Chains A and B, each alone.
Chain A
Amino acid sequence: EADIYQTPRYLVIGTGKKITLECSQTMGHDKMYWYQQDPGMELHLIHYSYGVNSTEKGDLSSESTVSRIRTEHFPLTLESARPSHTSQYLCASSDVGGNEKLFFGSGTQLSVL
């Protein structure tokens, strides 16, 4: 099984608060991703990274930011949470190679009141 962890599992927070969603993997994967998914809807890629000090924006525009200071850690930050940010956030990782296989964490369900 994949060793990729997300915390917290659930987060309820008020509008305007700064939040950081944590994601860590112990597989030594170079590539990491953040996806956003609303209930019953498809996953949207919001950020990805090819390795340390590499971050890219995904297909869906997001007000969040990410950092990649260490290979195993890929946190996502919202400087000022809004109700429109309410969603499930899924972190994933993979090896860089010809047949990419994604490993996902259990996700963080964020509710902004």
Chain B
Amino acid sequence: LAKTTQPISMDSYEGQEVNITCSHNNIATNDYITWYQQFPSQGPRFIIQGYKTKVTNEVASLFIPADRKSSTLSLPRVSLSDTAVYYCLVGEGYSTLTFGKGTMLLVSP
């Protein structure tokens, strides 16, 4: 399974764009990259998933370079409610997905 590395924590202010980068140097050909968000005392929630290039939905964008050894989750104009832990996972349908420590994002007024 591809191991991921993310910053432990990040700080931002309301209205700013936040970019969280995840390294996954040994990603396999069939692996997808998926990001989850977790609030305290809740289960993680799916944010976005991609295989290559750029993916955008109503919540975030995911940028994946050609070598796929890293990915960047971009949250536009964050608000206080975006304060959460963000996890980057790499894997495919028949693997058991492993959560790392994630990135604790703190958004301040």
Q: Verify if A45 is at the interface (C-beta below 8 Å from B).
A: yes
Name the contact of B101 in the complex, choosing from A42, A59, A97 (C-beta under 8 A): A42
Query: What is the bound-complex CA distance between A92 and B100, given in angstroms?
Result: 16
Structural contact, A90 and B43, CB atoms closer than 8 A: yes
* Beyond known contacts A98-B32, A109-B41: 15 more, CB 8 A cutoff: A42-B99, A42-B102, A43-B44, A43-B99, A44-B99, A58-B96, A91-B43, A96-B94, A97-B93, A100-B93, A102-B34, A102-B44, A102-B97, A104-B42, A106-B42
Tally the A-B contacts, defined by beta carbons under 8 Å: 65
Q: List 12 A-B contacts (CB under 8 A).
A: A42-B101, A42-B102, A43-B99, A59-B98, A95-B93, A99-B49, A99-B51, A99-B92, A100-B34, A102-B34, A104-B44, A107-B41
Nearest-neighbor residue (CB-CB) of A103 within chain B: B46
Q: Chain B: residues with CB nearer than 8 A to chain A? A: 30, 32, 34, 36, 41-46, 49, 51, 91-102
Minimum Cβ distance to chain A for residue B92 (Å): 6
Do A99 and B32 touch (CB < 8 A)?
Answer: yes
- How far apart are the CA atoms of A97 and B100 in the complex, in Å? 22
Chain A 16-59 interface 0/1 with B at a Cβ cutoff of 8 Å (1 = within) = 00000000000000000101000001111100100000000011
In angstroms, Cα B41 to Cα A52, docked, is 29
